[in-house]
Every structure is written in structure tokens, then in C-alpha cells.
A and B are shown apart, each in its own frame.
Chain A
Amino acid sequence: MKYVDEYRNRNLVLALIKKLHARTTMPVSIMEVCGTHTMSIFRHGIRNMLPGQIQLISGPGCPVCVTPSSVIDAFVELAGRSDVIITTFGDMIRVPGSNGSLADARAEGADVRIVYSPMDALTIAAKEPEQMVVFLSVGFETTTPTIGATILAAEQQGRDNFFIFPANKVMPPPLDTLMQDPRLKVDGLLCPGHVSIIAGADSFRFLVDRYRLACAVAGFDPVDILLAILALVGQVQAGKPRVENCYGRAVTRQGNTRAQSLVNRIFTPVDSEWRGLGTIPASGLALRPEYSAFDITKKLDIRAAPSSEPRGCRCGEVLKGICMPKQCPLFGSRCTPANPVGPCMVSSEGTCAAWHHYGGLEKKQIEGGKNEERQK
């Protein structure tokens, strides 16, 4: 089957690459905020086609990676209880905490189940009324509305054995924190399309106002990404930063206001700890008091202990974009996807995993390759 999808069209991609090569006249460093972008850029081999002056830096946008080790430890401890069924998205289960991962707990007999949606967790709760079914509620703006909807459904069903472990986060506050770090040199941001569908393109405006950062909201196909990079290069070179919506077919300036109000109805902002970034004010979401009956941390009085990073792991700096995965001494030796030390090597969106998996082809290696031939 030929891919007919216009957003992956090879000729379009190559035309955009050509344009980028022609237009880029100065070094531009761009942070892709979101792990899905990082992965897509690697998977489509885009990184190798970009002009040398464009530097891509991966940011903190992998929900699994930014979940601090204290919270992972609490997950694992909770999984050890015989009256609890843990339900979680898949990539969480291999993240190592200080006493092993959820996968380890499962091997020791804990009931840990992978679900694809929090609604599945609610279904399990209905089937197993004797157990407390806990959904590990991790994720950004994209995920939160579904979790909110599940809470409402649980309330409607009068389900008293369904809980979440609230660990959701929102995107703008950590970006604010990040940009204050003088070690990070970024000219522009590739803003995540799926977060923006919910939160709206305008949610990144403050970055332009405060830090004069160029911003482009982008989808996840190659053409989307390249259009956004082109826009960013244009803004940076002209010295006129703004928020440019390059994903107009899905994103509006205001976002999905219905989803937003659903989230506001159920969740309330709280200070939240991020791996590598520390505690950031109003960057997490807790359940509002009206819904606290669904909060397992309230029910069982769970308090996260202080975090301790896996020894030698530089995930914190990787998430901030000040350390490239390959600069971590454990990368590829002690830390691999099969045997991860830090979360960035676990998640399919993790920066270290992406580099480990796809990062083998350096720019110089493909010289004279098909790409150049086709560009001519």
C-alpha cells in the first residue's frame, strides 16, 4: 500500500527540506516540547535531513518521564496491597523506582493490569467489586479530560471501589520554569498539537511575551513538523516571535472549551513535583474536594516520600534539554530499553529511548545517500 496521506508525502517533505536549507541563514535551536514529536522526528528520519544550523533539543513532554521517583515508589507500594488492582497505561509499568518497577511488583504477585483508557479501569471495577481498582492517573492536557469523564461516569454509577491516583500535570508552568534556566539556549518551541487541541494555541502566548520565544503549534506527521520548523526559523531570523498555529486543521486559539470546563469541574491546580525540574507551583492537578472520594491517596492516606533519582541517571537534565542522552555515562551500556535505569529509557516517548532506538544514523553517515540524490 502506498501512503496517500498528504502529510507524509515524500515530494512535499523534500520540497520543505529544500526550502529549509535555502532559508536557514543562522543557527536556530528549537525545543520539541513533546515526546510524540521527538519520536516522530526520529521515526521519519527527519533529523538527518535538516540543515546543520538547526539544532533540535528534546523537552519535558513525556508524561511517564516527568513523573518523579517518589510517585513511582508510591505506585509500586500500592500495587503490593492484596486488596488493590492497579490499572495503568502500558509504558508506566517498566519505569524503575527505588524498589523496583510495577512490572517487578506484578512478577511478585501484584495485580497490575494494562488498560488503554481509564474507562477500561472502571469496567474492571464493576466486575471486581471486592477489590479497590486504582487507575494511575498520569498524563498531560490530552489525557485529563478522559479521566475526568471517567470520574463522572463512576459517580453516576455509584461505584465506590474505583479510584484514581492523581498525578496529572499541565504543560505551561514547567515551560516557564525551564526558560528561566540560563543553561538552556532555545530560540523556538515546537508546541505539541494534541495538548493544543484541548488547551488552545493561545496557552503558549506567555512564552512569547515573557521570553520572546518563537512558538509553532504542530501536528505529528512529517509535513506538519517541517512546516512548523520552517515557521520557527522564519520568526527567529526575522526577530519577530509569535505563536503560529501550523496545525490549523485540528487546533484553535481557544482550544476545546468543553473539555477544559470538564477538567476544571473535577480537578484543581496544585503544586507538583517534576522529575528534574523540582516542585513547580500550580503545575499538577488534584481532585476537587467534591470528588475526593475517588482519590486513593486520600482514602489510604498515601504521602509520597522524598524523591531519589536512580544513581548515575541524568534524566532530570535530559528532560530539561541541557544534557543529550549520549552524554549520560550509562546510556547504552548500563541503561538500555530492555534494562532501563531511568524513565527516559522506558517510555516510547522518552528521549533516551528515542536516541537509543533511532539515533544511530548521524548526519555525516548519510551523505551521498538516497536523500541527497532525491533532493537534487
Chain B
Amino acid sequence: MSSYITLDHGSGGLTGQILIQELFFRYLPDPVLHQLEDAAVLPEPCGRIAFSTDSYVVDPIFFPGGNIGELAVNGTINDLAMQGARPLALSLGLILEEGLRLDDLENIIESIGAACEYAGVPVVTGDTKVVPRGKGDKIFINTSGIGVVGKDIEITTGRVREGDILLLSGTLADHGVTILTSRAGLEVAGNLQSDTRPLHFLVEKVLEQEGGAVHTMRDPTRGGLGTTLAEIARATNLCMEIEEEDIPMHGEVRAACELMGLDPLYLANEGKCIVVAAPARAEKILRIMRSVPEGAESRIIGRVSKKYPGRVVLTTVAGGARLVEPLSGEPLPRIC
């Protein structure tokens, strides 16, 4: 094989076949995928079906702590998990730009395979297209996923009540800051890393024991914690009160945010969730979340009240209070 992606790789001919057989199948072992049928046929599910899709266009495609491939796997798994679904299978759609290095592609597919294996969720169907140079940006990935939702699980903002407790499963803004700093070529002391990781194990454990007490869950990806909470506030017409001091954050992240004039509340997370839970069960849920590695740094960060209906209020480290509005427009680093 040549060492770059060419238009031939997407033509459906032999070159494409070789790519699939020699590269993709090496890392994606699922037998249903290997049948190369037009659609994957899966065993009958036991429960309601959750179905989700997301596209990934991150730049750079490799970043500290991960790459676009595992991001695409974990992202869709997490979207399913946030509805209380147990993920069953994924589809993988690749749009490659002519000229993409094959070893880059291999690295990405390899980490897709590894992420699927770790999560226990196979890729069962896929598609690859190649676009001419300049019509894409190295690689775009779409993943869709299906999962099943257990019988008594009902995760919806409609169940959020006054007095509910807000829990966050770990440190804030790791992914967003990592991407922005690596895009900027900024050297930040310490080690910044994307937090990309699947959350369905954590969710499963929580729901197994405390399913009834979990009212809603969200993963604060694009738009960050601030925007996600603002959405919950708006949807429920309740007030989300959070404490800045209680929001876990790495020192490096805080430093990088100050340097670039960015508010960590609006930066993306790729392996964190907000859990809104009944007050009586919150401490127990916190303990469960902390018992798994991806939730080890979980914290209670606030509560639901009626103080300012439809709004998010933050008590700052300094002891002041301010509203947190949803993000509008990309966060841009400032002039200083």
C-alpha cells in the first residue's frame, strides 16, 4: 500500500477492499462487521432502544490524552449512557481527505479498536469515503450507536425537582483546554490531557443501585458545564445553584484559562457527567460514582432551587454571586 490515502481508497474498488481487510479488520474484530453486509443485523434487544449519532471534526486530530478516533467512540457511548442506555453497538463512518497519512489513519483505527474493546461495544457496520485534497480536513468521523434502556429507568429533565442535588463526575474543562492549547502550540507547565473516556460503566453502576433517584444526567461536552446547566435550568424552569469552590479543576487548566482569558465553565469535557439526583440519595450516589476510576474525583457542586427560575447562579470563590448564561459563539482567546 502507498503511505497516503488516495481517491482510489474510496472508490469501492480493490484498493478500498485492501484498506478494509488489511487495516480496519485488523483492529475491529466484530464478526458482524466482517460479514460486510449492507446492514448489521443484531440480536433482538431486551428493552427500549436508544439511538444516537454524532460527528467529530476535531483539530488537531491527535492531542494529549487521545485522538479523534477514541473521541468518536467515547462520545457516542456517552450520549447513549446519558439516557441511561446500555450501549450495544456502533457504526463508524469515515470521511478521509486525500493525502491523509496511512500511519495516522492506522493509529486512529487502532485506538478506535482499543476504545471499543475497553468499552465492550463493537463497531458492527461502517463506511469510508475519500474527498479530494482541500475538501476535508484530514479525517472526519461519524459514529452512531444503539443501546437499550432498562425497564424502570427514566432519565429526563422532566423529573428534576426543587431540592435536587447536582453532582459532577470529575475535573472541569480538561478536554477543551487541551485542544485549545495544543492548537495554539502553547506550552503549559504540568500535564494537560483530554479527559476522553466512556461513562457507561459509571452510569450502569449508579443506575443499578440508585436508578430511581437519578432524575437526569448530561455530559457537558461542547458549551461546557455552564451551557449544559443553563439548558437544564431553562427546560425545568428551576434554578441551578452552583459553588465555584466545589467544582474540581486541575491547576494547569485554571492557569491556562487565565492565560488565554477563557472561562472553564464553557470549555468542553469528554468524559464527565452531571448527575441530578434526589437529595436523600445524593451522598450514596456520590460514593458509587467515586468507587469507579472515571468518577474518583466526583463532587457535589450545587443544588436545584427556585431562586431564579430558569437560570444558573454561581457563588464565586470570592463569595460573590453571578448568573451563568449559556455560551454564545466560540470561546476565543483574548488579546493581552
Residues of A within 8 A of B (CB): 1-3, 8, 10, 13-14, 17, 36, 39, 42-49, 63-64, 89-94, 114-116, 120, 138-139, 142-143, 194, 222-223, 336-338, 347-349, 356-358, 360-361, 365-366, 369-371, 374
Contacts and interface: CB of A to CB of B under 8 A. Distances in A.
B329 A94 contact: yes
A91 B323 contact: no
Given A46-B318, A347-B335, A360-B325, 13 more contacts: A44-B317, A45-B322, A48-B320, A120-B184, A139-B336, A142-B336, A143-B335, A222-B318, A338-B329, A348-B262, A349-B261, A360-B311, A361-B322
B185 A120 contact: yes
Contact of A43 (B263, B333, B335): B263
Nearest to B181: A116
Interface string B298-336: 000000000110010111111111110100110011111
B186 interface: yes
A14 B315 CA distance: 13
B48 interface: no
Contacts of B334: 89-91, 347-349
B117 interface: no
Given A45-B314, A337-B329, A360-B325, A14 B319 contact: yes
9 contacts: A1-B171, A1-B248, A44-B322, A48-B321, A91-B333, A360-B325, A361-B321, A365-B308, A370-B321
A42 B322 contact: yes
A10 B245 contact: yes
B315 A45 contact: yes
Contacts of B171: 1
Contacts of B251: 1
B95 interface: no
B260 interface: yes
Contact of B245 (A2, A63, A90): A2
Contacts of A47: 320
B318 A116 contact: no
B102 interface: no
B249 interface: yes
A248 B292 CA distance: 46
Given A45-B322, A349-B261, A91 B335 contact: yes
A43 B322 contact: yes
B186 to A, nearest CB: 6
B26 interface: no
Contacts of A142: 336
Contacts of B287: none
B260 A116 contact: yes
Contacts of A8: 317-318
Contacts of A10: 245, 317-319
Given A349-B334, A374-B319, A357 B261 contact: no
Interface of B: 171, 184-186, 245, 248-251, 260-263, 307-308, 311, 313-323, 325, 328-329, 332-336
B335 A93 contact: no
Contacts of A64: 335
Nearest to A35: B334
Contacts of B316: 43-45, 222
B321 A36 contact: no
A53 to B, nearest CB: 18
Given A43-B263, A63-B335, A360-B323, A3 B317 contact: yes
Given A1-B251, A348-B334, A337 B328 contact: yes
Contacts of A36: 261, 336
A371 B320 contact: yes
A368 B53 CA distance: 45
Contacts of A143: 335-336
B335 A92 contact: yes
The 4 closest A-B pairs by CB, nearest first: A45-B320, A90-B332, A222-B318, A338-B328
B309 to A, nearest CB: 12
Contacts of B249: 1
Nearest to B185: A120
Nearest to A136: B335
A93 B245 contact: no
Contacts of A194: 336
Contacts of B335: 63-64, 89-92, 138-139, 143, 347, 349
Nearest to B183: A114
B157 to A, nearest CB: 22
B318 to A, nearest CB: 4
B325 A114 contact: no
Contacts of A374: 319
A46 B328 contact: no
Contact of A46 (B261, B262, B320): B320
Contacts of A138: 335
Nearest to B172: A1
Nearest to A356: B325
Contacts of A348: 261-262, 332, 334
Contacts of A2: 245
B166 to A, nearest CB: 16
Given A1-B251, A43-B316, A374-B319, A336 B328 contact: yes
A150 to B, nearest CB: 15
B245 A45 contact: no
A143 B83 CA distance: 48
Contacts of B333: 89-91, 114, 116
Most chain A Cβ neighbours within 10 Å, of B185, B260, B316, B323: B316
A222 B322 CA distance: 14
Given A10-B318, A46-B318, A63-B335, A361 B329 contact: no
A13 B319 contact: yes
Given A91-B332, A143-B336, A194-B336, A45 B311 contact: no
A87 to B, nearest CB: 12
A114 B263 CA distance: 18
Contacts of A356: 325
A51 to B, nearest CB: 14
B319 A49 contact: yes
A43 B186 CA distance: 24
Given A14-B319, A139-B335, A371-B319, A116 B325 contact: no
Contacts of B311: 360
Most chain B Cβ neighbours within 10 Å, of A13, A42, A43, A356: A43
